[in-house]
Amino acid sequence: MLHGTNPSWTTYIPHGKREGQYPVRTCIWGSRDVKAGQLYVDSAEITAVVAHVGGRKLMVVSVYILDLSSSTRTREENKEELSSRLRTIEELVQQEKLRDPQTKVIIAGDFNRHNPLWGGSCIDNTASQEDSAPIIDFMAELSLRSLLPTGVITFVSDVGRSSTIDLMLTTLGLANLSLILQARDISCHTTGCRKGQGGNRMAGELRGRVS
């Protein structure tokens, strides 16, 4: 049983598995009071759920992107891996919007990239901005906005260095949806979970209603 699981929640983990100590790197917990179903994604780093909240459809996605410092790939290979993962999510969103154009989307996770849009003016490194460019394009393509205040710290290293690498992105219009999303352990960067241990875990207790 995953840490934090209780009888009031349904646990969703990725369909795909990877070799190694941590076979999955994302997870979503949803309230059993909400009608929801998991979407199939052949990836250990993406979990996607569609929930019906107050008569409307909400798509929730949890994603993990490998930290550049932990990767053995070249810079271009890392960029392509990021782009590939974002394309997978984009295709999922487009499929659901074909079924219901009014579908709202929340995408949260450990993106492990730096950009002034979410990290603030302290991010002035050109290379960092280039590494995060696929995320900017992804946000523009799906008309996403960040719910986190610019510069909010989401990660503090063992030596005290802080940064913003966890994001929560939504489609426009969610301001009209009174959604209670209790984010617990939104990533592996919270207290009690060391980086690289347990992966990115977005725990969402969806108890929403249309206002």
Residue 1 lies in a domain: no
Longest CA–CA span in the chain (Å) reads: 48
Helices (H), 32-190: 75-99, 116-119, 126-142
Contacts 24+ apart (CB under 8 A), 28-34: 28/60, 28/62, 28/202, 28/203, 28/204, 29/4, 29/5, 29/203, 29/204, 29/205, 30/60, 30/204, 30/205, 30/206, 31/205, 31/206, 31/207, 32/7, 32/8, 33/8, 33/207, 34/206, 34/207, 34/208
How far apart, in whole angstroms, are the C-alpha atoms of residue 67 and residue 187? 13
In this predicted structure, what is the pLDDT of residue 182?
40
Q: How many residues does the chain have?
A: 211
Residue 205 lies in a domain: yes
CATH of the domain at 104: 3.60.10
Higher pLDDT, 196 or 37: 37
Residue 76 lies in a domain: yes
* Terminal C-alpha separation, the chain: 35
Residue 4 lies in a domain: no
Higher pLDDT, 14 or 194: 14
* 103: confidence class by pLDDT, cuts 50, 70, 90: very high
Does the reported pTM lie above 0.85?
no
In this predicted structure, what is the pLDDT of residue 198?
38
Residue 3 lies in a domain: no
Q: By three-state DSSP, how is residue 3 classified?
A: coil
Query: Counting beta carbons within 10 angstroms of the beta carbon of residue 157, is it exposed (0 to 12), middle (13 to 18) or buried (19 or more)?
Result: exposed
Higher pLDDT, 140 or 33: 140
Residue 60 lies in a domain: yes
Residue 123 lies in a domain: yes
Number of domains in the chain: 1
Could you report the per-residue pLDDT of 47-57, keeping only the tens digit for each?
Answer: 999 998 878 88
Where in the sequence is the domain holding 96, given as residue range(s)?
A: 9-210
DSSP 5-74: --TTEEEE--S---SSS-S----EEEETTSEEEEEP---SSEEEEEEEETTEEEEEEEEE---GGG--S-
- Residue that has been written with the tokens 């295709």 in this structure: 91
Average pLDDT over residues 34-57: 90
